[in-house]
């Protein structure tokens, strides 16, 4: 017979009770659900992180912004705007032919010119700051050497960018020449012998001219000589700038650009002439030796092979244009700024962000929090500002350098978080081991 289970007035948890003690339930008022509210320490830590982030970014990028004048190419863009408006006003006044409109046109153009002059003079504010700091650093031989060393380092970085640009151009032309060789072999094996032979002879002659122009105008020796002339032209730039800054020119024009305008055009002219000889004038491939060679190939190649050759030629010309602009415009402007003393003052942006991080770390409660904040906040911020400064030295435009700096900050942030997590886990393990050792030491005493 099956024994009946008497469940009346029976405690359903009695089977889980410890004999001789008050029943202990799995669900008891003694156990409270986990609280997801942040502790005061966590709130304080979060506030500290926020303070360091805002202050370091503001000081770092703010200092970098203050150390600059107008963004790169602002003068050229404003002059293009002036030329565009001038052409528009001229066309309208020519069509209308009214004295009143001509007077309005003259007044408008005068306002545009005044605006451009005033805006260009803003560069003088950045330069005078650099010059004054350079004079201050020059009061002591040790600080003068430091100023010079920083400037030379920036110059080396900028010069490497120029050489890389020419290297990319050389590589593109090498690929173009390989395609030309393949195209010549293909045409010789498939086309009419007499016609193809004559065209290939013309191509070979023009390729000699192409090689000669590239070698004579863009080789390392010619480049070094041109840079040497550039440096000589700026030997007295600081003194000349200082002299003109104390005149009305300081608020009417961009002094350093005005001083070096003729030198810049003179050094750029041979490169511009060589480029026109190779590929014509304008942005696109519209003339020159390369266009002549392509026209000859067009007569003896099928459309698909010619299109491939044309694309490679266009790419080569674009790479060459980039190299010329990097050398004759961007590097020229950068070296001018370096002579006036921009590198050390730009470096202050990193120092100010470091100072902000140091201030924040001094407010941390203990060594563990300081290390955590340094890894998660300090290194990403300083790294971001330093990266922006580095790419500025690499002749990267202001906006692009900021974007790259922000991306590097994210990378530093991820790396810092991983390092901090690893460090926290290691500390936790050490803490547990220490507790285990303590319990082991206390156990014999308790048994006694």
- What's the CA dihedral at 386, 388, 392, 395 to 10 degrees? 120
Q: What are phi and psi of 23, to 5 degrees?
A: -55, 135
**pLDDT reported for residue 203:** 94
3-state secondary structure of 27: coil
Distance of CA 65 to the CA centre of its chain: 14
Q: Kindly give, in sequence order, each residue whose CB lies less than 8 Å from that of residue 124, ignoring residues fewer than 6 positions away.
A: 69, 245, 250, 251, 254, 255, 256
Entry pTM: 0.68
DSSP letters of 319-353?
A: HHHHHHHIIIIIIHHHHHHHHHTHHHHHHHHHHHH
3-state secondary structure of 230: helix
Q: What are phi and psi of 115, to 5 degrees?
A: -65, -45
The string of pLDDT tens digits covering residues 13-52 is 454 444 444 444 444 444 444 444 455 555 444 544 454 4
Distance CA 133, CA 32 (A): 64
Q: Is the pLDDT of residue 414 over 60?
A: yes
Select the highest-mean-pLDDT range: 98-102, 136-140, 170-174, 342-346: 170-174
For residues 136-155, average pLDDT:
92
Distance CA 415, CA 421 (A): 10
**Residue 359 near residue 55, CB atoms below 8 Å:** yes
Distance CA 359, CA 56 (A): 9
Q: Which two tokens stand for residue 78?
A: 């404003």
Banded model confidence at residue 354, pLDDT cuts 50, 70, 90: low
Burial (Cβ within 10 Å: 0-12, 13-18, ≥19) of residue 27:
exposed
**pLDDT reported for residue 411:** 73
Q: What is the DSSP letter of 378?
A: I
Selection from 377, 348, 346 nearest residue 360 by Cα: 377
Q: Cα Rg for the chain, rounded, in angstroms? A: 36
């Amino acid at each position: 017979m099956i024994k009946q289970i008497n469940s009346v007035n029976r405690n359903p948890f009695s089977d889980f009770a410890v004999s001789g003690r008050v029943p202990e339930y799995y669900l008891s008022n003694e156990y409270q659900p986990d609280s997801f509210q942040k502790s005061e320490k966590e709130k304080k830590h979060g506030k500290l992180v926020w303070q360091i982030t805002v202050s370091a970014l503001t000081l770092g990028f703010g200092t970098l912004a203050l150390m600059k004048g107008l963004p790169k190419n602002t003068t050229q863009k404003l002059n293009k705007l002036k030329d565009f408006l001038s052409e528009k006003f001229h066309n309208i006044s020519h069509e209308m032919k009214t004295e009143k409109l001509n007077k309005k046109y003259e007044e408008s153009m005068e306002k545009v010119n005044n605006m451009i002059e005033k805006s260009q003079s803003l560069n003088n504010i950045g330069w005078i700051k650099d010059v004054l700091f350079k004079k201050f650093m020059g009061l002591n031989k040790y600080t003068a050497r430091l100023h010079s060393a920083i400037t030379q380092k920036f110059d080396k970085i900028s010069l490497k960018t120029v050489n890389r640009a020419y290297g990319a151009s050389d590589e593109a032309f090498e690929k173009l020449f390989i395609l030309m060789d393949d195209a010549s072999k293909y045409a010789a094996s498939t086309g009419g012998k007499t016609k193809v032979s004559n065209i290939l002879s013309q191509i070979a002659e023009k390729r000699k001219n192409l090689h000669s122009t590239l070698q004579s105008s863009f080789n390392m020796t010619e480049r070094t000589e041109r840079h040497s002339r550039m440096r000589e032209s700026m030997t007295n730039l600081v003194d000349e700038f200082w002299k003109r800054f104390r005149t009305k020119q300081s608020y009417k024009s961009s002094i350093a650009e005005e001083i070096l305008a003729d030198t810049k055009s003179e050094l750029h002219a041979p490169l511009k002439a060589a480029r026109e000889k190779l590929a014509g004038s304008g942005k696109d491939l519209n003339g020159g030796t390369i266009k002549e060679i392509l026209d000859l190939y067009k007569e003896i190649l099928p459309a698909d092979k010619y299109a491939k050759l044309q694309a490679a030629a266009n790419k080569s010309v674009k790479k060459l244009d980039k190299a010329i602009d990097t050398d004759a415009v961007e590097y020229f402007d950068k070296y001018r700024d370096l002579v006036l003393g921009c590198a050390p003052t730009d470096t202050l942006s990193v120092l100010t962000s470091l100072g902000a991080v140091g201030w924040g770390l001094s407010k941390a409660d203990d060594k563990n929090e300081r290390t955590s904040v340094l890894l998660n906040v300090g290194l990403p911020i300083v790294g971001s500002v330093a990266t922006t400064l580095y790419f500025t030295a690499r002749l990267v435009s202001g906006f692009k350098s900021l974007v790259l700096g922000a991306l590097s900050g994210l990378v530093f942030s991820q790396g810092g978080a991983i390092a901090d997590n690893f460090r926290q886990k290691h500390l936790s393990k050490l803490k547990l081991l220490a507790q285990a050792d303590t319990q082991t030491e206390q156990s014999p005493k308790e048994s006694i």
